[in-house]
A and B are shown apart, each in its own frame.
With several copies, the nearest count.
Chain A
Amino acid sequence: MELTSLKVIKHEKIAAKTYELVLQKPTHICPQPGQFAMVKVEGKFLKRPLSISNYTEDTVTFIYKVLGQGTKLLSESNPLDIEVMLPLGTSFNLETKHATLIAGGVGIAPMAALAKSLHENGTTVDVHLGYRTAEEVFLAEELKKYGTVTIYTEDGTAGTKGYCLPQEINSNSTIYSCGPHPMLNAVANKYPNKGWLSTEEYMACGFGICAGCVIKLKSGMKKVCQDGPVFAKEEFEC
């Protein structure tokens, strides 16, 4: 975990309201799938938490959607360097033979590194991706390299119409999910499988000192930035 200024290699729009940001990173910084970074946006007081979507030996990739003022500012700017704190938080546990990835909206971002790593471990990967509409689709093509990919859109403009909740799941498959709170709760309670869910909360520090990101889970009050963002599925079951 360190605060550092990284060179921008690429910063471009990849889908409606969706941008890819690639930074050059020193090799000693080694993120794991599911971890995130606090990203500085010039003109904004607090950094923005963004999942590490993917990484190589010397790059780290973020995919963000323009939601409010900060992401809008970032999307309109072309900085040469960006201050980031990373890698932060817990990562996905990769030990499984069969993996079912269920992600919605910007929750799809961290699926890239996750699917790749699982695939490299020889795990069978089924990916289910939910978008609002066709023009917001991203990462779907790339993920086909690592397993089957099923697309859902709320308005039916691409793939299956409706929310991203597969009818049934191979009973010994491990679920990996990231997305809005309602989706995570649905996933947690619809399927009996064990699994790992990545969640969101507003953050000030991103590394455990402010207690701003705390949410109530089954086992108690947890810091999303430090105890999470990846938690065991049971934590969300009711």
Chain B
Amino acid sequence: MLMNEKLQLIEENLHRLNVKLGDIELPNPVMPASGCCAFGHELNNFYPINKLGAIMIKSTTDVARDGNPNHRIYETSNGMLNSIGLQNPGVDVVIDEHITWLDSIGANTIVNLAGSDTESYVNVARELEARAKDKVTAIELNVSCPNVKHGGIQFGSDPQTLKNLVNEITKVTTIPVFVKLSPNVTSIKEMAMAVDETDAYGITMINTLVGMAIDYRTGKPIIANKIAGYSGPAIKPVALKQIYEVRQVTNKPIIGMGGIESATDIIEFLSVGSDAIAIGTANFNNPTICIDVLVDLLAIMDEMGIDHIDEFKGRAHV
């Protein structure tokens, strides 16, 4: 099936795929996950990214970051490790070069926001509010990026710290804020309940697990940062379980992710309580995965006699 045929099929079935996250309306539930689509330019060479539900761009910080030394990535059995280290050109460049372009082509942009202290987070939010609020669909607060030394993880691993950070952000921006939960906690429910008590608009989950790879010959870690984020199909069972639990404690919209590779994966994520889904690692092996799974999803819906994807939502809980 040619790409334009795929796009047309999706176009004709948007009434079966459209998603409402509170007041936010998306044409379909699929978006590439942050850090797995850069700022969209590359994927746009394969298909028009304004056809996506949305695009979650790379974590953006107040000032430019070089990120970590290499090796930054490594393969595992059915997944991968990464320790990129939040490399990004800083919020100003992101707005001028990327968000402006994404807006001009009509893409729904979700800006992933990262920092190493509350202030640096707030700076980015302020900047977005001041210069890009009409160009941005939502903010995704990365409180869990596990691969930055002295940073990230602690915000997402203590309920009170998390709550404080979210409150500081929602104070300075009118852009809907989604909090991206880290799976590497004792109780994901506690974290979700903390977010539920804030003005956060919704939740995205899960970020990467944390793992390590060793070169058996030298006995040394392969990733320069030693410890890295673990993603891909291998983490899917963990993602499904945590979204299932979080859905039990909040009614806020959830954008689910973690190892999604296929249309049946999407149905599983909707079943445990996701309202929309994101695809990360799978983009690396197939640049058109986000379009391909929508085509497959429609085929399965026809076969199962499902009119609208909403019929899949939350079935694991009834």
Interface positions of A (Cβ within 8 A of B): 1, 3, 44-47, 85, 201-216, 220-221, 226
Interface positions of B (Cβ within 8 A of A): 35-38, 41-43, 45, 58, 66-67, 69-80, 82, 84, 87, 232, 281, 283-288
In whole Å, how far is B290's beta carbon from the nearest beta carbon of chain A? 12
In whole Å, how far is A85's beta carbon from the nearest beta carbon of chain B? 8
Cα A216 to Cα B58 with chains together (Å): 19
Cα A219 to Cα B73 with chains together (Å): 22
- Is the Cβ of B75 less than 8 Å from the Cβ of A210? no
How many pairs, one residue from A and one from B, have CB atoms within 8 Å of each other in the complex?
A: 83
Which residues of chain A are within 8 angstroms of B80 by Cβ–Cβ distance?
Answer: 45-46, 204
- Is the Cβ of A3 less than 8 Å from the Cβ of B72? no
Cα A71 to Cα B287 with chains together (Å): 23
In whole Å, how far is A206's beta carbon from the nearest beta carbon of chain B? 8
Cα A207 to Cα B42 with chains together (Å): 7
- Apart from A209-B43, A211-B35, A226-B42, 10 more pairs, CB < 8 Å: A85-B287, A201-B70, A202-B70, A202-B71, A202-B74, A205-B284, A209-B283, A210-B35, A210-B36, A221-B87
Cα A220 to Cα B88 with chains together (Å): 12
- Is the Cβ of A214 less than 8 Å from the Cβ of B67? yes
Cα A44 to Cα B288 with chains together (Å): 20
Which residues of chain A are within 8 angstroms of B69 by Cβ–Cβ distance?
Answer: 216
A45, A85, A201, A204 pick with most chain B CB within 10 angstroms: A204
Q: Given A45-B77, A45-B79, A221-B87 in contact, is the A207-B70 Cβ separation under 8 Å? A: no
Which residues of chain B are within 8 angstroms of A214 by Cβ–Cβ distance?
Answer: 67, 70, 72, 84, 87
Which residues of chain B are within 8 angstroms of A45 by Cβ–Cβ distance?
Answer: 75-80, 232, 285
Q: Given A201-B71, A202-B73 in contact, is the A212-B84 Cβ separation under 8 Å? A: yes
- 9 inter-chain pairs at a CB distance below 8 angstroms, sorted by A residue, are A202-B72, A203-B73, A208-B38, A209-B42, A209-B283, A211-B67, A211-B87, A212-B72, A215-B70
